[in-house]
Amino acid sequence: MYEFWRKWFVAAAAFVTLSGAAMAVLALTPARWLLTWHVDGAFWPAGVPAGAAASQAFVVGILGAVLAGWGVTVWALGRYPLAKREKWAWTTALVAIDVWFVLDCTVSAVTGAWGNVALNVGFPALLLPPLIGMRGALRSAAPSGRPAVA
């Protein structure tokens, strides 16, 4: 069952990577509204001002690039060390997902971007079930092969 969960995790991380890459590309096109409709109303209830378009493209594009890079990192954890059932990789992935989720949702909520909070829930919904499923079958060795320090 471990391999089922690991493959799910790798596929979900690939989806995160592709989502980020799509964001980076779409940010530079008129289709950018597909990425911003859920937060535009929180900041510009009367509509996005013309002068904000370039700034919005920059921010969305950079966020997409960061998400793609983060997705590649999570994918690599699932593809390589988690294939060896290394617990440090599982812990790293879990902490990375948790830190991103808490910080992103906190900033989104404080700034009134509740649509972004709602969309954020999708990524942990994809990534956490396989992590939970893999948990019981991990090895406790440190990355160097030395016994883990408690």
128: in domain: yes
Beta-bridge partner residues of 49: none
51: in domain: yes
57: in domain: yes
Average pLDDT, the chain: 90
Contact 96, 127 (CB under 8 A): no
147: in domain: no
State how many domains the chain has: 1
- Helices 53-79 and 2-26: crossing angle in degrees, nearest 10, is 160
33: in domain: yes
Closest Cα to residue 122, out of 103, 96, 97? Answer: 97
Q: Give residue-wise pLDDT tens across range 85-106.
A: 999 999 999 999 999 999 999 9
* pTM greater than 0.75: yes
144: in domain: no
User: To 5 degrees, how large is the angle CA 86–CA 130–CA 14?
Assistant: 90
